[in-house]
Structure 1
Amino acid sequence: MLVRERILETALKMFRTYGVKGVTMFDIARDCGISKKTVYEHFVDKQALIDEGMQQLLTNHINYFTECLQTTDNAIEEMVRNMKYVTNLAKTLNPVMLYEIQKYHPDTWKSIESFKEDGVLCNIKKNLKRGMTEGLYRQNLHIDIVARMRQLQLEAPFDQMQYPANQFEMPEVMEQVTAHFILGIATIKGHKLANQYLQIKEDE
């Protein structure tokens, strides 16, 4: 692995674990086993590391969404797989990172907000259209309204005010809201598939 890639990977791991404010360039250098001077040779400052790190993270998300769309058998499988991806991601992401980026790095936060609109929301709309075409989702869905509702659901488990970590397990919250959402928009045909993917018993 090239030095620059190793620096970026280490910084991202530390940001996701500890947040961005408390991590210094010296911390990153020490974790990489290199000098701080070497870090600065590749990244002019910590802001540059944060910007590139977040961009890489968002690009990885987009790539996964695209791959998931292409490799799943139907819209419900796609939505469930995306839900599991977000859940696994959240296990390695300290919410304080997003809070600190929003508060102390507004320009970086703008790119995350754009990703929510152009990446996440767009992907949800594609999934809804796919499900309607496949006869798995109801035909009378107002896509713009329902897509935004789903986006809010995806963000809700990260909200410590709504779901405090000492009271709720984030994966369970995500699974519950996703099951509720899918069953709410699915046709009878869709319900049967949803029961399989979500492992819901017929009599529940």
Structure 2
Amino acid sequence: MREQIIHKSAELFLSLGFKSVTMDDIASEMGISKKTIYVHFENKTKLVEAVTFTLFSNICDGIDCICNASHNPIEELYDIKMYVMNYLKNEKTSPQFQLKKYYPKIYQILHLKQFEKMHESVKESIQKGVDTELFRSNINVDFISRMYFNGMTGIKDDTIFPKEKYTMEYLMESYLEYHLRAIVTTKGMTVLNNFINKNQS
């Protein structure tokens, strides 16, 4: 039952937001009593925490699978972007910024976990690109991976990139291309252009 509550709550939080979904809403959607939820979760904050870290863990597992199966670091980053977009396809609110506003402690822990995960995997990916001569050999791999995380986090800020003007898909696509064009070699540019021409209209 605990896993079912987490699963349904995740759906509701992603589509309606952390703030607006109540324990009553979750109980009603699941056809169970609110007491049943409280057997597994002491309060809404504990439920939000469980949902947040379950989603994060699931996304990490998917990213690991992509990294293990990737052909090259350019396609790898695009595959990860598509995976994350599909995973969060029901995201109609800005869950990370709602988390930051209403559950700042959970947000801080998540932000650190996201940084540690992305920093590690992006560093490996960039180094792979350098080793295969797709990325320039004179780049600072550690610095670039930190900048990438900072940029990917920054594009989710509604105040800078309002939803009415930019879709999340456009922002992720554009930022990824911006990032790659800054670090590719001539060989890497050919791979990138071929990939973009083949996969985008």
Residue equivalent to 2:165: 167
The DSSP-based 3-state class of the residue aligned with 2:197 is coil
TM-score normalised by the chain length of structure 1: 0.89
Q: Is the 8 A contact 1:87 1:171 kept in 2?
A: yes
Residue equivalent to 1:101: 99
Task: Tell me how far 1:88 sits from its aligned partner.
Answer: 3.2
Residue equivalent to 1:123: 121
Q: Is the 8 A contact 1:51 1:108 kept in 2?
A: yes
Q: Is the 8 A contact 2:14 2:88 kept in 1?
A: no
The alignment covers a number of residue pairs equal to 199
1:180 aligns with 2:182: no
Residue equivalent to 1:86: 84
Q: Is the 8 A contact 2:97 2:157 kept in 1?
A: no
Q: 1 CA distance for matches of 2:179 and 2:97? A: 27
Task: Tell me how far 1:90 sits from its aligned partner.
Answer: 4.8
Residue equivalent to 2:51: 53
Task: Tell me how far 1:95 sits from its aligned partner.
Answer: 4.3
Per-residue Cα deviation, 1:67-118 (whole angstroms, up to 9, x for no partner):
1110111111111111222333454224443223222323211221212321
Q: 2 CA distance for matches of 1:173 and 1:103? A: 22
Runs of 4 or more consecutive aligned structure 1 residues displaced over 6 Å after TM superposition? none
Pick the aligned partner of 1:41 from 39, 42, 49. Answer: 39
Per-residue Cα deviation, 1:123-158 (whole angstroms, up to 9, x for no partner):
211111111112111100111221122112212331
Question: Where in structure 1 are there 5+ consecutive unaligned residues?
Answer: none
Q: Is the 8 A contact 1:80 1:197 kept in 2?
A: no
TM-score normalised by the chain length of structure 2: 0.90
